Amino acid sequence: MATKQQEMRRKIAESRKRQREEKKKKKDALYMSKFSPEYRKEIADRQKKKEESKTKNKKKENKKPSYTPLEDDNDAADRKEEKVFRSSSSVKKAKEKHAKNTPRLEDDNDAADRKEERVFRSSSSIEKAKDKHDPLRKYRRGPGTGRKDTRITKHLKKSGFTEDRLARLRKKHAEFKAKKKKNRNKLKKNSMGG
């Protein structure tokens, strides 16, 4: 009896081995077929067909409708042009009227001062907006910031630290130092300077 069971097990093992070998052969054949010239040719043909269909679709989209415009369309276009002309002429008249009513500046210096003031106001608002937009702006280093990278920063950047991460760390450290200084001053006051 033991021999029959052993024989059955051996047959099952052999059949499984054959199945594995067949699968491997199929897999290798499929792999090799991908690099065969017939496969490459088929892929090239598919790509050509796709490109041709794309160009056909583009040509269809670019085609203009082949109808002759009716008189109504021409009348509408004429009316539109007339409106634009009227509005532009009325704008010109309004500008001329405004120029006549407003007194001219006596000095060019006044105009220059006003212009400088406007520029100063806008630049300060731009700086404020930048600070709001990027809270880490003053902790950044490197190109475009006006501060050079230190030797340590260069090595950290090479090893994968981002500028944002470094800026966050600088900010955190600055806050820590400020807090430490504040606590030290408190201690000095409480201990009567000693």
Summarised one tens digit per residue, pLDDT across range 115-133 is 666 666 666 666 566 656 7
pLDDT at 15: 94
- Predicted pLDDT at 132: 65
pLDDT at 89: 64
- pTM of the entire predicted model: 0.33
Stronger pLDDT, 113 or 194, i.e. the higher one: 113
Average pLDDT score over residue span 65-73? 53
Distance CA 106, CA 165 (A): 56
Residue 107 has pLDDT above 60, yes or no: no
Structure tokens of 28? 């290798």
Residue 127, both tokens: 């700086």
Cα separation values, 119 from 66, 90, 123, 126, 130, Å: 55, 32, 6, 10, 16
Q: Is the CB of residue 146 less than 8 Å from the CB of residue 139?
A: no
Mean pLDDT of the chain: 76
Please state which of the ranges 115-119, 139-143, 168-172 shows the lowest mean pLDDT.
115-119
Sorting pLDDT into bands at 50, 70 and 90, what band is 31?
low
Tell me the pLDDT band of 26, cut-offs 50, 70 and 90: confident
Q: Sorting pLDDT into bands at 50, 70 and 90, what band is 43? A: confident
Q: What is the pLDDT of residue 96?
A: 72
Residue 69 has pLDDT above 60, yes or no: no
Distance CA 7, CA 3 (A): 6
* 188 has pLDDT over 70: yes
**Distance (Å, rounded) from C-alpha 32 to C-alpha 40?**
11
